[in-house]
Structure 1
Amino acid sequence: MNRIALVAASLCVSLSLSAPVFAQYSAPPNTGTPFKDTSMLKPPAGARVAIIEFEDLECPACSHAFPITRGAAEHYKIPLVHHDFPLKMHIWSLDAAITARYMQDKISPQAAEDYRRAVFANQNSIASKEDLENFTRHYFQTHGREMPFVVDPTGQFAREVHADYELGERVGLTQTPTIFVVTPKHWTQVTDVNQLYQTIDTALAETPATTVRSNLRHASKPQR
């Protein structure tokens, strides 16, 4: 792979002004990003550590990170909280995210994961909305399902994706994927996905299970 291709595959970046500008560059590892509001970067209740990931189905770096984040969640038996962040300059990313939400809500979360995995695997052959529609129709057929004539007739799934996007804007995202390892007390952005396992090890070491149980008991106490 030549130098230009390496840079293009490294990161998807959105500079959100009046209209987002698309650029791709190779960021130095684990420099982090100055975020705006990180109050929502917490693990689900009862979890010592979790991965939070914002991804774009048209982003090559997200395709690279997808199996790594899923593998880490399975290896450590920790939650992975997924959010869609389709960059506005990408042609078909939003449509793909809406279809994934349809599968998640109408079929199963695993069906949505499988579809996302397939989209990432076929990214290079999807160059337009028409390509995505043809790919999705074939995907439904080969999995024994009939693709609905209109995937999102009420706009429900678009609203779900938009809610994720608004959450990302509230945090202050500038790129995809944006990956966090979170504990009840702090978060760490993982800008080099190859350091994800090491970051989780550190977070687990810093967050004993007894601390989580104590926090849960405190939260469950009735307020006087």
Structure 2
Amino acid sequence: MPRHYRRLWPVAPASPAPFLLPALLVVPLLFVLTVACLAEPARVTIDPALTRGPAGAPVTIIEFGDFQCPLCKRTQPVLDQLLKEYRGKVRLVFKNFPLASHPGARPAAEAARCAAARGVFWEYHDLLYLPGTDFSREALIGYAGRLALDREAFAACLDARQFRDEIDADVREGRALGIPGTPTFLINGKPLVGALPIEAFREAIAEALQSGGK
């Protein structure tokens, strides 16, 4: 039987039901979510180009994120700090989960995949989470230029939507796992949902390490 993890945290919902909208307007993005602990990390497709940390790390954090999600942006310093604190013990994996409510998220996800194909996913990822990010086509190509990528080749990749299928696969995988919104994390398969304080991650990582990284 799958365990369930139930907490009250801010999260950007994947598809808020109509009856939730008034409440979300009063208390934005703060509600109780129940998520089934469905998957071990090995059952989630992992692209090495979208990972940070050693492949053999005992703890894997899988993030289902959206580049236009302010709560995802808020969580990035927490993830950076965790990678420093648990150097060699934690691997971070990014999965694209662009929400329909964020029109810039899908183009940004495809652009980040174009960057990944050129070996600079994380550098591009970090640019997308800077304050005041512009998600227009011109800006997405401009970010590639800031990383010294060939702008014309990058534009061709973006315009051809070369990585549309990969984004679709991530979204399908997330839905199959019951991912409710962004950010959602699986820590060795155990879900944490929302813009969590670093202590919540430390607790989950400690538990994973105590159980032998399984």
- Pairwise TM-score range, normalised by the shorter structure: 0.7 to 0.9
SS at match of 1:81: strand
Does residue 150 (structure 1) correspond to residue 156 (structure 2)? The answer is yes
CA distance in 1, matches of 2:187, 2:146: 36
Partner secondary structure for residue 15 of structure 1: coil
List runs of 5+ in structure 2 lacking aligned partners. 1-9, 47-54
Cα 1:164/1:70, change in 2 over 3 Å = farther
Q: Which has the higher strand share?
A: 2
Check the 8 A contact 2:41/2:60 in 1, yes or no. no
Larger Rg: 1
Equivalent-residue separation in structure 2 for 1:46 and 1:113 (angstroms): 19
Shift of 1:159: 0.6
Corresponding residue SS for 1:83: strand
Deviation at 1:202, TM superposition (A): 2.0
Moved >6 Å (runs of 4+): none
In 2, Cα distance between equivalents of 1:152 and 1:204? 40
Q: Which residue of 2 aligns with 1:3?
A: none
- Amino acid aligned to 2:81: G
Residues 184 and 191 in structure 2, CA contact (< 8 A), matched pair in contact too: no
2: CA distance between counterparts of 1:181 and 1:79? Answer: 10
Give the superposition deviation at 1:89. 2.1
Query: Does structure 1 residue 52 correspond to structure 2 residue 62?
Result: yes
Residue 108 (structure 2) aligns with: 96
Deviation at 1:206, TM superposition (A): 2.2
Q: State the identity %.
A: 23
Does residue 115 (structure 1) correspond to residue 124 (structure 2)? The answer is yes
After the TM superposition, which residues 54-203 of structure 1 pair with which residues of structure 2 at under 5 Å, given as runs? 54-76=64-86, 77=88, 78-105=90-117, 107-108=118-119, 111-122=120-131, 124-126=132-134, 131-147=135-151, 148=153, 149-152=155-158, 155-182=161-188, 187-191=190-194, 192-194=196-198, 195-203=200-208
Deviations 1:150-189 (A, max 9, x none): 224654411111110000000011110001211xxx5242
TM-score between the two structures when normalised by the length of structure 1: 0.69
90 and 207 in structure 1: CA distance in 2 versus 1, 3 angstrom threshold: same
Question: What is the alpha-carbon distance in structure 2 between the residues aligned to residue 145 and residue 34 of structure 1?
Answer: 40
Q: Which moved more, 1:166-175 or 1:141-150?
A: 141-150
Tell me how far apart the structure 1 counterparts of residues 121 and 164 of structure 2 sit (CA, whole Å): 15
Aligned to 1:13: 13
1:203–1:92 CA distance, 2 compared to 1 (3 A): same
Distance change >3 Å, CA 134–CA 153, structure 1 → 2: closer
CA spacing shift, 1:177–1:141, aligned 2, 3 Å: same
Provide closer, same or farther for how the CA distance between residues 67 and 132 of structure 1 changes in structure 2, counting only shifts above 3 A.
farther
Q: Distance in 1 between matches of 2:193 and 2:42?
A: 15
Following the alignment from structure 2 to structure 1, what is the Cα–Cα distance between the partners of residues 206 and 127?
A: 29
Displacement of 1:72 in angstroms is: 1.4
In the alignment, is the contact (CA less than 8 A) between 1:190 and 1:196 conserved in 2? no
The 8 Å contact of residues 182 and 193 in structure 2, kept in 1 or not, is answered as no
Compared CA separation, residues 142 and 47, structure 1 to 2 (3 A): closer
Supply the distance in 2 between the matched residues of 1:206 and 1:41 (Cα, whole angstroms). Answer: 15
User: Is contact 1:85-1:164 (8 Å) kept?
Assistant: yes
Query: 1:33: which partner in 2?
Result: 34
- Tell me the distance in 1 between the aligned counterparts of 2:158 and 2:137: 14
